[in-house]
Structure 1
Amino acid sequence: MMGPVLAACLLIILSTAWISQANGATYKKDGGVCTCNDQTKNVDCSSKGLTAIPSNIPVETTELRLNFNSLSKLSPTAFHGLQTLTYLSLSYNDLKTLPPGVFDHLVTLETLGLSNNQLKYLPPKIFDSLAKLTWLDLQFNQLERLPNGVFDELTQLGTLYLYTPAERVPEGALDRLQNIKDLQLTNNPWDCTCNDILYMAKWLKKKQDEGLGGVDTAGCEEGGKAVLEITEEEAAEDCVYPNTTTAIPTTIITTLASSNDDDIPELPVPQENFQKFLGYQEPDHLPTQPQCLMSISGYLGLMMFFVLISAAILYVIHFLKKA
């Protein structure tokens, strides 16, 4: 009876080895898969229908694409382990706000895409840790107000897209943008009847004299006149706006402070390395339908598994017939 026992043990060992290899080479969760490039350290999770950010993304990731998903909220610690990240795209999701501190550990980030979301508020100091940021896209959100000092630490910013319902820019909000080269303010309903628009008008005029392009894309809500052409006589009204220091209603702050991270689902991802994380696949060949990605070694292991299991079964049958 030792023959069948040995055969059964062989089957168990082979099954365990193959399953371990397959699990290390594939990842499938929340209805879709991500792809990664071991050479460039890029992870692409775009267009996967994700409702939560995969946890344990490899710490050596430099570029992370999460655009075209269904993300409606983020954990405050969602990106805290990705200190080498230089590129992050969260565009084309359903984000309504950003938790304070969510970008605090991204000290090497250079590109941040937040366009085409439902952002209504920005927490104060939300971008303060992004001292190396050179490109920021906030267009097509619902930001009616910007917090005071929101861009103060973005001294390296070269490109800013700000097409939102914002009617004004807080006094001094643009002063620290010393390296700005591309500024797009089209379609904002700038209120040119209030005298606080004069700050932005003077800043735009100064930047135009310095050769900055795009300054004339800011037009007044009424009349279509360029903001930089507004005079003190035209903007004589002393308007009163809600406090924009926090730019977040008290109810939202309370909710964020009392919420538990457990309320935000996390999707586990193997941490060993990039090839074990998702299996190697060039980002240019993304699957059109949700599927498991497996490395070539995974497929070879599967074929070898079936060959060996067939041989083991034949051995057991032969042994039983002799018995």
Structure 2
Amino acid sequence: MMGPVLAACLLIILSTAWISQANGATCKKDGGVCTCNDNTKSVDCSYKELTAIPSNIPTDTDRLVLNYNKLRELEPKAFHHLNKLTYLNLQFNKLQTLPAGVFDQLKNLETLWLRENQLKSLPSGIFDKLTKITYLDLNTNKLQSLPEGVFDNLAKLTRLDLQINQLRSVPNGAFDYLSNIKTLWLQSNPWDCSCKDILYLRDWINDNKEVTGAQDAACGDQQSKAVLDVTEEEAAEDCVYPNTTTAIPTTIITTLASSNDDDIPELPVPQENFQKFLGYQEPDHLPTQPQCLMSISGYLGLMMSLVLTSAAILYVIHFLKKA
């Protein structure tokens, strides 16, 4: 009777191993695609053409590198089990948006790289829980605006990189709570120096001359005039910024609104142009499954598990027939 019992135990062990692999291994040593270092608690998943965050990343991971992949979106709870992370690198991907709350559990995070993505906007409160962060990199995205208070909880932040975006202004008080900021990169944005909104940024730069990088902010696409040198006379317009790259002075809006409707010719507006004005975009992709099991070693591991499981089943059947 010991034969069937041993065979049954073997079957259970092999089945458990197969299920574990089927759920998605992370580290190469387990058949996954990422390189894991147990000593430094780091996981490197760079240059793997991933379209989703690998599953089963160890919960004690301190450093997670996901740069140079094809990530277009993140699951809202993608990092919720990784509350020990101090370093997260997501640069050089294709992220177009960030789900609200995606970083909420990363309360020990000190460094966050989001450089070289395609972010057009940020959800309100996206960084509120990152109270220990010291370095935030949003360089080379497509940000057209910043939400009110987006940096208010980042009192320990020392370096903030916002250069090479499409920012024309920042909300009033945007940088007031950055009490430890040492470097703030703002250059290569088309700052609109004809609008009154720019006066907050001008005054903040002037009041914080010890912060390196901020003085390099310049007006417009030509970057010919420093924001620091803008006068009240030059920044006279009350501007409204829709979700486009063009500012519309409110004086124009008021004039149009007060005009007689009979005097305004009716112009056909193509539907796609109207959608673009509202910031609407058709989705150009569908979510894809994690690619953790795409390595050859992962497939070989699965095949071996299947073969051993089949052998164990036949072994059990053989002994049951003899019993």
* 1:265 maps to 2:255: no
**What's the CA shift string for 1:124-152, capped at 9, x where partnerless?**
00000000010000011111111111111
One-letter code of the match for 1:265?
Answer: Q
Instruction: Report the counterpart of residue 82 of structure 2 in structure 1.
Output: 82
Q: Tell me how many residue pairs correspond in the alignment.
A: 247
* 1:104 maps to 2:125: no
> What are structure 1's unaligned runs of at least 5 residues?
1-5, 256-261, 270-289, 303-323
State the alpha-carbon separation in 2 of the partners of residues 123 and 166 from structure 1. Answer: 16
Instruction: Report the counterpart of residue 172 of structure 1 in structure 2.
Output: 173
1:251–1:230 CA distance, 2 compared to 1 (3 A): closer
Instruction: Report the counterpart of residue 66 of structure 1 in structure 2.
Output: 66
State the alpha-carbon separation in 1 of the partners of residues 86 and 128 from structure 2. Answer: 16
**What's the CA shift string for 1:1-35, capped at 9, x where partnerless?**
xxxxx9xx99xx7xx88x9699683223xxxx110
State the alpha-carbon separation in 2 of the partners of residues 175 and 117 from structure 1. Answer: 27
Identity of aligned residues (%): 51
1:266–1:177 CA distance, 2 compared to 1 (3 A): same
Instruction: Report the counterpart of residue 217 of structure 1 in structure 2.
Output: 216
**What's the CA shift string for 1:39-84, capped at 9, x where partnerless?**
1000000011101101221100000000000001110000000000
TM-score normalised by L of structure 2: 0.69
Indicate conservation of the 8 Å contact 2:46/2:69, yes or no: yes
> What are structure 2's unaligned runs of at least 5 residues?
245-277, 305-323
**What's the CA shift string for 1:182-219, capped at 9, x where partnerless?**
111111110001011000000001110xx221122101
* 1:27 maps to 2:51: no
By how many angstroms is 1:239 displaced? 1.2
Indicate conservation of the 8 Å contact 1:168/1:190, yes or no: yes
Taking the TM superposition and a 5 Å limit, the aligned residue runs for 1:124-273 are 124-163=124-163, 164-208=165-209, 211-221=210-220, 224-242=224-242, 265-266=289-290
State the alpha-carbon separation in 2 of the partners of residues 48 and 265 from structure 1. Answer: 14
State the alpha-carbon separation in 2 of the partners of residues 250 and 80 from structure 1. Answer: 30
Other structure's SS at 1:88 match: strand
State the alpha-carbon separation in 2 of the partners of residues 172 and 242 from structure 1. Answer: 20
Taking the TM superposition and a 5 Å limit, the aligned residue runs for 1:284-303 are 292=297
State the alpha-carbon separation in 2 of the partners of residues 54 and 35 from structure 1. Answer: 12
One-letter code of the match for 2:156?
Answer: Q
Instruction: Report the counterpart of residue 259 of structure 2 in structure 1.
Output: none
Indicate conservation of the 8 Å contact 2:93/2:116, yes or no: yes
Query: In angstroms, what is the RMSD of aligned CA positions?
Result: 3.2
One-letter code of the match for 1:215?
Answer: A
TM-score normalised by L of structure 1: 0.69
State the alpha-carbon separation in 1 of the partners of residues 115 and 234 from structure 2. Answer: 32
Other structure's SS at 1:201 match: helix
By how many angstroms is 1:265 displaced? 2.9
State the alpha-carbon separation in 1 of the partners of residues 176 and 74 from structure 2. Answer: 30
Taking the TM superposition and a 5 Å limit, the aligned residue runs for 1:307-318 are none
Other structure's SS at 2:240 match: coil
Indicate conservation of the 8 Å contact 2:190/2:219, yes or no: yes
By how many angstroms is 1:236 displaced? 1.2
